[in-house]
Structure 1
Amino acid sequence: MANTPHGGSLIDLIVRDAPRRDALVKEAATLYSLTLNERQLCDIELILNGGFSPLDGFMSQADYDSVVSDLRLSNGLLWPMPITLDVNAAQIKAGNIAPSTRIALRNPQDDTVLAILTVSDIYTPNKSREAAAVFGADDVAHPAVHYLHTQTKEFYIGGKLDAIDVPVHYDFVEHRFSPAELRAYFKKLNWTRVVAFQTRNPMHRAHRELTVRAARARHCNVLIHPVVGSTKPGDIDHFTRVRVYKALLPKYPQGMASLSLLPLAMRMGGPREALWHAIIRKNFGCTHFIVGRDHAGPGKNSAGQDFYGAYDAQELVAKYKSELDIEVVPFQMVAYVPESDEYIPADEVPEGVKTLNISGTELRRRLKTGAAIPDWFTYPEVQTILRASHPARSAQGFVVLFTGYWNSGATLIAQALQMSLNQGGQRPTTLLLGETIRHELSSELGFTKRDRDLNISRIGFVAAEIAKCGGAVIAAPIAPYDAARIEARKVVERAGGGFFLVHVATALEDCIARDRTGTYERAKRGEIKGFTGIDDPYETPTAPQLTVDAAKTPVSQIVHEIILLLEAQGYIGSR
């Protein structure tokens, strides 16, 4: 049943008949398989368990075109977000994919088959049209538009699913409910009116206050229903956030609130996303849903302006309220009034009364620097969790990557820097020299561009893992290509480490003059192929944190400059 009222039927594709399931498993072993990515894995779980009711598979072209243009499926039912399965030409050819083809869809985590898709059609989306219609602009500054143009393959395939299994989760299992399970849980608690709170961030005192006010005004219980699938790049990881939500539950009046996790892949689609979220919460059995100011907004566009207006989401949801079968509660912004030590709705603050607030940017700054976070803003239990997951800079790991021609002096500088950092004793320091990495991690690689990039990718991965645990890494490969260096930075920063690129810009002629081994001469004679600076290019870094010349500046001075750079950013020095 589609878009059903609270308590009504849901799409439920899970096969509970053992012989039928065994037959599907046996059939899947004979079929061409597609391994899903992270977003598709989130999508298929919510299709299979009914969270995406009325969908029973990935969208056909008729449904896709209708959703993009009119926020409705081809049968007229309200649905604002395309849910598609993308493939490329090679996959179509390899699987002989055509209408009526059966395809096994696999979990990337354990390679199990989750479902069999019966293909209804194959079509080519107009990605620019999709971006403009669904997300408001064909602007790659929007994370979903960037994903659409850089990661989504060129074809979509639609079709219904025969379910075999849902993805298995190993974290916070006690807080994971399917729509049917959550509805049954509400029934067990005798909850008949439930207001859901959508969040992808940690919750603080203001969030507790606004959810309590919403519950009191609508005579509801509160469901904290955070997204634990993919969210906006740079968001705090869901492990930390769920620990925060669990710590916050006792702060609610007895029996008022509960917690359930939503394995949704957010698109950060603003107004359409808010409408989508409302339908999903209705499917999970909620009667009310809080829609916030700039709900699911991705931030600034390429022109530096907000993608969506502050109340665009609330206005779009209000437009369709007669069809939603869930009451939408507008987000009431609250402000802290120090004079009375309480949070009150911002529009009820008397003129001239002082209020306090800490922005998300300011909170992140305080976490990074170790600055105080006042108790009026968040609970001590929440602060403890956030500080454990986001230590001050002086306890965070970092990576210093040297790049330059062979024999530029980078190796000597790296060794001297390691000694200097070890002397300080603040954290373990790992040295990854180019020749060491080539011997220990990349012995099978040559010196083609692909192999060089793969070598830097491996260095970036190892460095990120060490930095994630609070260690310092000094790496000194040649790293001649800018794209590989940029990707290494991204890997380290995604892991939570600081990244510093030091360009050892010793001139090629000086590197050759300092070479006592004859290596450059051998390269000139063609005895060594693919040698950087001779028959292979070196791309000058576009934005290094430091540029030095070992032929003109003593190693001790260069090390001192790097130490000053690390100290200025708070990575070393007083704790």
Structure 2
Amino acid sequence: MEHTPDAYELADLELLLSGAFQPLSGFLGHDDLHTVTERGTLADGTPWPAPVTLRLPTDVSPGSPGSPGSPGSPGDEVTLLDPEGVPLAVLTVTEHEPDGLTAGPVRGLGAPEHGPFARLHRTPAQVREALGGRPALVVTMRGPLDDLTEITATAKELDAVIVLLPLSYGEPGPSVVRAALRARDHLPEGTLVVPVPLAPREEPEIDLELREHVATAYGATEHLAGPEPVRIPGPPHRRGLVVFFTGLSGSGKSTVARGLRDALLELGTRTVTYLDGDVVRALLSKGLTFSKADRDLNIRRIGFVAAEAARHGGLAICAPIAPYEATRAEVRELVESVGADFLLVHVSTPLEECERRDRKGLYAKARAGLIPEFTGVSDPYEEPDDAGLVIDTTHLSIEAAVSQVLGALRAGGWVR
């Protein structure tokens, strides 16, 4: 079995493989999680502050435990891939739970060879070898170092080499590494900069304790935790935004979305990307069927493209049916993970009105059994309860509907 972990799990995987999470050599199971949560130790009594876990999605979870060849059995293996499909490691399963939690040791298949500042990456063993037994002042950073005086004085007092560990997880990662490189130019000669993709933990105390564990792995005689970054988001009209329309076929969502695109182009204040469901189907998702799995994949592809446009400050408009709550939530999370905003617009025109319109004749074909799994007829539409705007076009002109969406964008500050 092969599986691509999410970004958080991939970061933990890299630290497991490098030895930065010593004494951990793999992902934790339920027994370990209980003791970490209750007492701050692993099942064998080793102190450890935070869960390091891997979950397989339920739709790709292995079969019943004990079946030959099933990764649900102890001793079976799962190959862990990076987002480009390159094998990174093999997980030997020791525990697999129905909720997807999968535990076991990991074995590396090769060091990551790409990504920003890959040339700076070193394992803890490589750093300790470079130190050659000398004392080390290790500084972990999640943001710029405002004052280098304490670092310089402490290093002088200890006669120590300074090792800056910019914690390079996620979107702010490259900027933290750049800050470390700038700081190195003002620190004593021989200062090392080693990016470490340690994902932040929610509890500040746990995050600090985990940073100390990592610093120790990198040879710290003493550890200093740099200040947390203060991230001030830009004004809404400069932030990326995804306006995501959802509704039944024939609800008017595509027409309203096109009207919004045209209105924004006329205003000329935002860079606009328009991703209509039918157009995407003909190009980005050509060859996909209308099965639930393929429909979900289609929405994920739309979400990925929209998030990339929004990542760089653009405004993306999407208009798929998107009938499933879980998939819409995935898109929202994807967009927000790149620092952009997400506005869900539910075009709530009732099924009866959509079917009365039936401009494409799809409902008639679905009622005749010619289109299987058709949303609203033979497959459900899960109405959102988290929409930022709800519009029923039954008795509303397109111009009025577009005005309502523009009003929401202006009220949110996304359009001036």
TM-score range, shorter chain: 0.7 to 0.9
What does residue 122 of structure 1 align with?
A: 94
What does residue 423 of structure 1 align with?
A: 266
What does residue 286 of structure 1 align with?
A: 220
* Residues 218 and 255 of structure 1: CA distance in aligned 2, closer, same or farther (over 3 Å): same
Q: Which amino acid aligns with 2:308?
A: E
Deviation string 1:239-287 (CA, Å, 9 cap, x unpaired) is: 122122223333x454485422224456556556544543432332221
What does residue 124 of structure 2 align with?
A: 179
Which residue, 504, 507, 531 being the options, matches 2:374?
Answer: 531
- Greater relative contact order (Cα < 8 A, sep 6+): 2
Deviation string 1:20-72 (CA, Å, 9 cap, x unpaired) is: xxxxxxxxxxxxx76674666555655555444556x44899x9599746736
Q: Which has the larger radius of gyration?
A: 1
Find the aligned partners of 1:70 and 1:471 in 2 and give their Cα distance: 44
TM-score normalized by the length of structure 1: 0.59
* Residues 218 and 404 of structure 1: CA distance in aligned 2, closer, same or farther (over 3 Å): same
Deviation at 1:421, TM superposition (A): 1.1
Which residue, 152, 158, 167 being the options, matches 2:101?
Answer: 152
CA contact (8 A) 2:71 2:78 kept: no
Structure 2: gaps of 5 or more residues: none
What SS does structure 1 have at the residue aligned with 2:126?
A: helix
The number of residues matched between the two structures is 406
* Residues 237 and 447 of structure 1: CA distance in aligned 2, closer, same or farther (over 3 Å): same
Which residue, 542, 546, 553 being the options, matches 2:389?
Answer: 546
* Residues 73 and 289 of structure 1: CA distance in aligned 2, closer, same or farther (over 3 Å): farther
Find the aligned partners of 2:296 and 2:55 in 1 and give their Cα distance: 27
Find the aligned partners of 1:113 and 1:512 in 2 and give their Cα distance: 48
What does residue 205 of structure 1 align with?
A: 146
Q: Which amino acid aligns with 1:285?
A: G
Q: Which amino acid aligns with 1:249?
A: R
* Residues 67 and 245 of structure 1: CA distance in aligned 2, closer, same or farther (over 3 Å): same
What SS does structure 2 have at the residue aligned with 1:488?
A: helix
Deviation at 1:432, TM superposition (A): 2.3
Q: Which amino acid aligns with 2:292?
A: K
Alignment of 1:487-502 (within 5 A): 487-502=330-345
Which residue, 223, 227, 248 being the options, matches 2:167?
Answer: 227
Find the aligned partners of 2:11 and 2:394 in 1 and give their Cα distance: 54
Q: Does 1:262 align with 2:129?
A: no
What does residue 137 of structure 2 align with?
A: 195
Deviation string 1:160-213 (CA, Å, 9 cap, x unpaired) is: x6x7643334532443222343234335xxx944322223x222525x455456
What does residue 108 of structure 1 align with?
A: 82
CA-based RMSD? 4.2
Q: Does 1:238 align with 2:238?
A: no
TM-score normalized by the length of structure 2: 0.77
Q: Does 1:368 align with 2:234?
A: yes
Which residue, 260, 279, 292 being the options, matches 1:449?
Answer: 292
Deviation at 1:403, TM superposition (A): 1.9
CA contact (8 A) 2:62 2:70 kept: no
Find the aligned partners of 2:62 and 2:375 in 1 and give their Cα distance: 36
* Residues 204 and 253 of structure 1: CA distance in aligned 2, closer, same or farther (over 3 Å): closer
Alignment of 1:504-519 (within 5 A): 504-515=347-358, 519=362
Find the aligned partners of 1:486 and 1:49 in 2 and give their Cα distance: 33
What does residue 280 of structure 2 align with?
A: 437
Alignment of 1:36-55 (within 5 A): 37=5, 42=11, 46=15, 49-53=18-22
Which residue, 230, 250, 253 being the options, matches 1:407?
Answer: 250
Find the aligned partners of 2:34 and 2:399 in 1 and give their Cα distance: 66
Percent of counterpart pairs with the same letter? 30
Structure 1: gaps of 5 or more residues: 1-32, 126-148, 230-234, 293-332, 334-358, 370-392
Q: Which amino acid aligns with 1:205?
A: D
Find the aligned partners of 2:370 and 2:389 in 1 and give their Cα distance: 34
* Residues 394 and 525 of structure 1: CA distance in aligned 2, closer, same or farther (over 3 Å): same
Find the aligned partners of 2:140 and 2:127 in 1 and give their Cα distance: 16
Find the aligned partners of 2:340 and 2:84 in 1 and give their Cα distance: 29
Q: Which amino acid aligns with 1:425?
A: G
